[in-house]
Amino acid sequence: MADSALTHITVLLNEAVEELLRASAGADGAYVDATFGRGGHSRLILSRLSAQGRLLAFDKDLEAIAEARLIKDSRFAIRHEGFSHLGELPAGSVDGVLMDLGISSPQIDSPERGFSFRFEGPLDMRMDTTRGQSVADWLATAEVDQITEVIRDYGEERFAFQIAKALVARRQERGPISSTSDLAQLVADTVKTREPGQNPATRTFQAFRIFINAELEELEQALEGSLRVLASGGRLVVISFHSLEDRIVKQFMAKHSKEVVDRRVPFAEPVKMRLKGQGRVRPSEDEVRGNPRSRSAIMRMAERTEVPV
């Protein structure tokens, strides 16, 4: 993800694809790029698959779908759906699932999408602009306690109540807030202290984006779905960019990487482990220097253990 307008640098590109293709099926397998974005991972996966290999991608963003349709390859297909639909694929039909949870630079750098406090634009933030509420629509009616909960839980913002109170007061005095610059200014006026080098609105914008797109709920559904669709020896590779996502991924992999004994039924067979953790990878110093937005990325990997018949 680069700062130049409408460009995208895929984070951990080679590392992610190499880990994915360590699946037992190798280049002949069927893979899922659960978050197509601008297609960096998908294009590299396709370049390394054999003629028998297959790749299916998911994305909610119409611009991502348009980009995907530029790929003219019979081994590739794209679905205009969120990756929470992953579990609808046939059980055991996939040899690897890749999830890159980062928002793409074209989304951030398009003012009309409303993702960034750096650009003047409508306060939208929807990944799929064809459905659902925008942030502005939600803020037009949300109460202080609702807004506080979202900013606190999804932004880990200690001034959540003060920001929520200011938003509702602004709505009552002058009407609801509807632009990115107005939101950024309101937060800056409300939050008097902030970590060095960080815009005061960073956490609030993150919180609203995660909430309006139900990102954490969708991630949980997608992870559960991956267990169902991965074949034995299949690989799960997930790149996260903030602590809320990474905590969910880490706990999911840990939970399914151990046998579970039901102490209420002493003689019952333990539930077998379903994943084997394969560690984590951070971007190299060179990658962070070339792409500062990669600095918070963590990639975690796991392998599907034998699937019970």
CA–CA dist 41, 47 (Å, integer): 10
Domains and CATH numbers, the chain: 13-105+215-304 (3.40.50.150), 129-212 (1.10.150.170)
Which region, left, alpha or beta, applies to residue 285 given φ > 0 means left and ψ of -120 to 50 means alpha?
Answer: alpha
* 8 A C-beta contact, residue 179 and residue 123: yes
- For 255-304, the pLDDT digits (tens) are 998 875 556 666 656 557 789 999 999 999 999 999 988 999 999 999 99
What integer is the mean pLDDT of 90-110? 87
> What share of the chain in percent tops pLDDT 70?
92
According to the model, what pLDDT value does residue 263 have? 60
Strands 94-100 vs 30-33: parallel, antiparallel or unpaired: parallel
- For 117-133, the pLDDT digits (tens) are 787 899 999 999 888 99
Sequence-ordered list of residues with C-beta below 8 angstroms from that of 237, at least 6 positions apart, any chain: 16, 19, 20, 96, 97, 98, 99, 299, 300, 301
According to the model, what pLDDT value does residue 265 have? 62
Strands 298-304 vs 230-240: parallel, antiparallel or unpaired: antiparallel
How many residues are recorded in the chain? 309
According to the model, what pLDDT value does residue 7 have? 60
What integer is the mean pLDDT of 191-195? 79
What integer is the mean pLDDT of 176-205? 90
Instruction: Give the pTM.
Output: 0.89
According to the model, what pLDDT value does residue 74 have? 97
> What share of the chain in percent tops pLDDT 90?
77
- For 144-173, the pLDDT digits (tens) are 999 999 999 999 999 999 999 999 999 999
pLDDT classification of 305: cutoffs 50, 70, 90:
very high
Of the two residues 274 and 105, the one the predictor is more confident about is: 274
**Single-letter code of the amino acid located at 159:** F
According to the model, what pLDDT value does residue 157 have? 94
What integer is the mean pLDDT of 56-61? 95
CA–CA dist 226, 221 (Å, integer): 9
Strand, helix or coil at 269? coil
Residue carrying the six token digits 């379903």: 274
According to the model, what pLDDT value does residue 5 have? 35
Of the two residues 259 and 254, the one the predictor is more confident about is: 254
According to the model, what pLDDT value does residue 6 have? 44
Query: In angstroms, what CA-CA distances link 258 with 30, 276, 277?
Result: 26, 8, 10
According to the model, what pLDDT value does residue 82 have? 93
